[in-house]
Structures are given as C-alpha cells and as structure tokens.
Amino acid sequence: MLTLEDLFVVVPVWGLVIVLSWFLSRYLLTVFTGGKSRLDRIFSPVEGFIYRLAGVDAAKKMGWKEYFLSLLYLNAGQAVVAFFILMFQQSLPLNPMHYHGMSWSLALNTALSFSSNTNLQHYNGETALSYLSQMSAIQFLQFTSAATGLATGVAVIRGFAGKAKTIGNFYFDYVRALTRVLLPLAFIATIVLIAMGVPQSLGGYSYEPTLQKDAYEWIYRGPIASLVSIMQLGTNGGGYFGANSAYPLQNPSQLSDLFEIGLMMFIPTSLLFLFGRMVGSNREGRTLFLAAYAIYGIDLLIAFLPHFSIGRGVEVRFGAAASVFWTVTTTAFTTGSVNASLSAFNPVVILTAFFGMLIQAVPGGIGTGAMYLLMYVIVTIFLVGLMAGRTPEYLGFKIEGQDVKLAVASFLTHPIIILIPTVLAFAVGAERGAGLSADSIGFTKVFYEFTSAAANNGSDFLGSAANTVFFNVSTGIVMWLGRFLPMLFMLAIADGVATRKRGYGQGLKTGSMSFVIVLIVSIFILTVLTFFPFLVLGPILQFLQGFRTSFGV
C-alpha cells in the first residue's frame, strides 16, 4: 500500500520536475520559434556551418511529406552506419577488450532499436560492445533519435498552433534540438552524474581482487556517465550494462536514482507547457498537462496498491517504493530503463507498466508523447461532437473527416503491430527459443516484448534471451513501424490544420476541467477496449492465479 514514506519519494521529484519544466518551456519557445537569444552568438555559427556542410536550406518551409521523408532518410542512414560499426567492431579502434562483432540479426535489431529511440537490448553491453560502439553507435543514436522525436513533436505543435502557417523545417528543428537543447542539458547532467559516482573513462576494464581470498572480478568502466545522461534525458533507456540502472556503476545511490527519474520526466513535461505557449493559451497546455499527469498518477496509485517487500530482483540500495516509482515512470514516459528486474514485481505493477506503454501519452516520450496526446484530443472531440450534435472544433479550426481518419490510423497502428506479432510468436513456437513456456507468464513476457518495441520503450523481461533471429527481426520491424508511422499520420494532420481558417465558434471548451475529465475517460476506454483480451491472458490472469494461491480460493 502507498505510505507516507512513498509520498516523500514521489512528491518532491514531481514538484521539482514540474517547476523546472515550466522554465524550460520558455527556453524551448525561443529555440523553436527562432526568437532572439544571447546564446545566438555561440550557437548560430555552429548551426550555420552544419547547414552548409549538409547542403540544406534551414529557412525553407516544408510540407508534411518533405518533413517526414527528411527525418526518415536521415534516421535510416544513421541506422545503416551503426549496423556496420556493430558488425565489424573487432576491426575498429577503441576495442581494448577485443570484442567480436555482433551477428547480423543482433546488429540489425540494435541499429533499428537505437535509431527509433526504443533502445531494446538483446545483448549485455559491458560484455559485447567496444568503446567505439558504445559512443559512435549507441550514444550517437541516442542523441539523434531524441532530436528527431523532439523536432517532430515541435512540428506537430507548430502546425496545431497555426501562427506560422507551416509545420516548419526539419533540419532547423533537428539541429537546434541537438545544439541548443540536448547537448547542453546532457553535458550538465553528465557532470552531475560524475559527481554522484558514475564513471566516465576510456581506460579499459580492470581485473581487481575482491574481499574473498584469491578471488578477482572484472570492473567494467567506460564512458558511462555520458551515456546515462542522454539515455534518461532523451527518454532512450538503453544502458551501458545489461542490468541497466540496477547496476551500481550506472546508478550508485538513492540520490542518483531520483536524479535519473527526474531526467526522464524533464523534457516530455516541458513540451506540455510549450504547447500552451505556442498556441497562445496556457489553459490548453494545462489541459494536456493535467490529463497526462492524472493518468500517470492513477497508474502510480494502482502500482502501489499491493504490498511489496525487498526480495529477489529488487535493489536493496533503492527499496521497493523507489523501484515501483521508477518502473511506472519509465513506462509512462516510454523511456525503458530499469532499476530492478521486472520479474520481481507484482502483476499489478506490470499491468500499470502496460498501461503506460499502450497509451504512450502519460506524458509519453520526448516529442512523441505530446503528439499522441493531440491524437487523443482529436478523437475525443470528434466522439463528443457526434454525441452532442456539434461540429467538432479545436483551437478555432474545424476538425475535418481527413483529420479523424489520420488520427484513427495513428491509433490503430499500435494494436496492429503489437497483437499480430504476439500471436505469430506463439504460432511458430518462437517463445521456446527464448526459454519461455506457453503459459500466462510466458504470454505476458512475449506480449510485453512487442508492446515495449511498438511503444519505443525498450524495457523487457527477456534481455539477451531474446537474441534469436525471430525476435531480433520481428521486434526490429515493430520498432520502426511504431516509431515512424504515427509520425507520418500526425505530421499530415498538423500540416493540414496549419493553414486552416480559424474562428472561435460553438466548439467544446477544451481548456476546461470538464474536458480534462472527458479526455482521461476517453483515453482509458479506447486503450482498455482495444487491449483488454490480451491483458486478461497475461498480467490479469497472473494476478488472479496469485490471488487464488495466496487465499486458497
């Protein structure tokens, strides 16, 4: 049950993140609207050089097709480079441990995973990747995929705001996301993490004596702090170690644990406030914020309902409450990092983790969370408009049939790319290759694997056990479809409404508390109705079986 001690873990982190995110949103408004800043003298020459080197015109207005193809081609090219680095790392420098290259299917999965901001790991990084691979394939893609998500989220918000009459220019948004947002914030976070005890080194691993007589073990060190900063800040989630942030060198203390949780929440929360600033109505931004955080809060309350104790798979350094808080947060913000084994949790906690990944907007990942919230807003306004007999309107423009079709297509992408591969995995017996049985536990783990991949979350039960051709290829495809198809649909909607005539008529008052409640209910109903049968076969059945065993029912 939720205790006063648990609240002392949650409330201060929430409060600090919300306040800092409010101030960050002011800075983001200047960055992405091209406002004048004292930092221009530092960043403008660097950005100008990048534009000239790439041969792009950052001032050109793009339609949704050009914007989408620009980001797709760039991410595809980066994934190809990462694929070859991972395949042939044994022939490349900065490999003091002389690790071999990955198999083609694992290299493909890893390149698609990190380029899609998913960071699903079917390998243990400390025993599989060279320093060059960790920095040039893993960390590099964590920056670029986060910048792509941030740029896309801003473009969608810009289109809905309608003031610029365009969704903008991808290269302008992408480069500024890197130079003015992610790199500076990650640098600051890296310094803080180093001060907290997270290593940052290229000195190679060392073989050190332990407290036991004549016993030694490897001490894994490397560019860890710089990876942890962007993995959390960019809602990436992929860790330097196979154990992720349950590993002491990646997450040394309770203070670093809370700091890393705060990093996950920081930019996605600020984008909810940025929406209000860009559309010129703080009420509209408040609507998105309250809806997202209300569902996030409900998930936390449900997750804290069972009684927890520190047992196998839960880090004693953090305790049960902090581990539950982390798990709900990492799935609500679709980050995917973990500080405890998912197998250690009550099925109720896993159920709330599913909710976070199935909804993807509580508040969701960097850029994409705000994008998904706007998708739910369109669907909700359309449904309420049908019931009330009113023309659906939002922010002064009429929602047309094409907008609703695209929003529904974006929504339906998620269940299609989750449910079909899950059924297929059991149809071909792929679960046996990962050491699973076809019971409720095995079903939950496979269902979670594809849900995590589709939500670009990356947390999973299987880890390196899923290093099979089937899971590597299938989750790789799911990760890219789950990443880029919704972007395509939402950019098309935003581009369509950017130039639409606006005039405030008799539409819903979307800045009111009543609409917040309607939006929350709508999101829950849509998600539960879509995925309920599969949830019953997985975590709900596990919970009922555990309940029956405990009480002899």
Average pLDDT over residues 311-324: 79
Phi, psi of 393 (to 5 degrees): -135, 150
Dump pLDDT digits (tens) for 430-488. Answer: 999 999 888 888 999 999 999 999 999 999 899 999 999 999 999 999 999 999 999 99
Tell me the one-letter amino acid at 489. F
Decide which of 322 and 151 is more confident.
151
d(C-alpha 362, C-alpha 148), whole Å: 20
**Helix %, strand %, coil % for the chain, to 5?**
70, 5, 30
pLDDT at 207 exceeding the cut of 90:
no
d(C-alpha 524, C-alpha 505), whole Å: 29
Average pLDDT over residues 320-339: 92
Residue 409: predicted pLDDT: 96
End-to-end Cα distance, the chain: 22
Tell me the one-letter amino acid at 235. T
| Residue located via tokens 């955080």 | 293
Residue 306: predicted pLDDT: 76
Burial status of residue 16 (CB atoms within 10 A of its CB: 0-12, 13-18, 19 or more)? middle
Residue 550: predicted pLDDT: 54
Domain ranges of the chain: 4-551
Residue 7: predicted pLDDT: 67
d(C-alpha 436, C-alpha 518), whole Å: 40
**Given pLDDT bands bounded at 50, 70 and 90, which one contains residue 298?**
very high
Look at residue 340 and give its three-state secondary structure: strand
Dump pLDDT digits (tens) for 139-195. Answer: 999 999 999 999 999 999 999 999 999 999 999 999 999 999 999 999 999 999 999
| Residue located via tokens 């929440």 | 265
Q: For residue 359, how many other CB atoms are within 10 A of its CB?
A: 29
Residue 216: predicted pLDDT: 77
| Cβ atoms 122, 433 nearer than 8 A | no
Question: Measuring CA to CA, which residue among 126, 224, 122 is closest to residue 460?
Answer: 122
Residue 547: predicted pLDDT: 56
d(C-alpha 419, C-alpha 524), whole Å: 18
Tell me the one-letter amino acid at 237. G
d(C-alpha 273, C-alpha 284), whole Å: 9
pTM greater than 0.85 (yes/no): yes
| Residue located via tokens 């799911």 | 478
| Residue located via tokens 């969608």 | 156
Helices (H) and strands (E) in the chain, counts: 20, 4
d(C-alpha 287, C-alpha 240), whole Å: 37
d(C-alpha 264, C-alpha 388), whole Å: 39
| Residue located via tokens 């929504």 | 411
d(C-alpha 534, C-alpha 541), whole Å: 10
**Given pLDDT bands bounded at 50, 70 and 90, which one contains residue 96?**
confident
| Cβ atoms 236, 114 nearer than 8 A | yes
| Cβ atoms 394, 507 nearer than 8 A | yes
Look at residue 239 and give its three-state secondary structure: coil
Dump pLDDT digits (tens) for 362-386. Answer: 999 999 999 999 999 999 999 988 8
Average pLDDT over residues 417-426: 96
Residue 506: predicted pLDDT: 60
Q: What is the 3-state secondary structure (H, E, C) of 258-269?
A: HHHHHHHHHHHH
Crossing angle of helices 347-359 and 282-303, rounded to 10°: 160
Residue 540: predicted pLDDT: 84
Residue 304: predicted pLDDT: 86
Tokens of 270: 């600020």
Reported as type and span, the H/E element at residue 136 is: none
Dump pLDDT digits (tens) for 508-543. Answer: 788 899 999 999 999 999 998 899 988 888 888 877
Residue 205: predicted pLDDT: 80
pLDDT at 421 exceeding the cut of 90:
yes
Strands (E), 138-269: 206-209, 216-219
Question: Measuring CA to CA, which residue among 236, 257, 270 is closest to residue 120?
Answer: 236
Reported as type and span, the H/E element at residue 398 is: strand 397-398
Dump pLDDT digits (tens) for 106-141. Answer: 999 999 999 999 999 999 988 899 999 999 999 999
Radius of gyration of the chain (CA): 23
Q: Residue 162 region, left (φ>0) first, then alpha (ψ -120 to 50), else beta?
A: left
Of the segments 297-306, 383-392, 464-473, which one has the largest average pLDDT value? 464-473
> Between the CA of residue 260 and those of 16, 178, 232, 388, 421, what are the distances in Å?
13, 20, 6, 45, 32
Tell me the one-letter amino acid at 115. S
Average pLDDT, the chain: 91
Residue 437: predicted pLDDT: 86
Residue 177: predicted pLDDT: 97
Residue 264: predicted pLDDT: 96
**Given pLDDT bands bounded at 50, 70 and 90, which one contains residue 388?**
confident
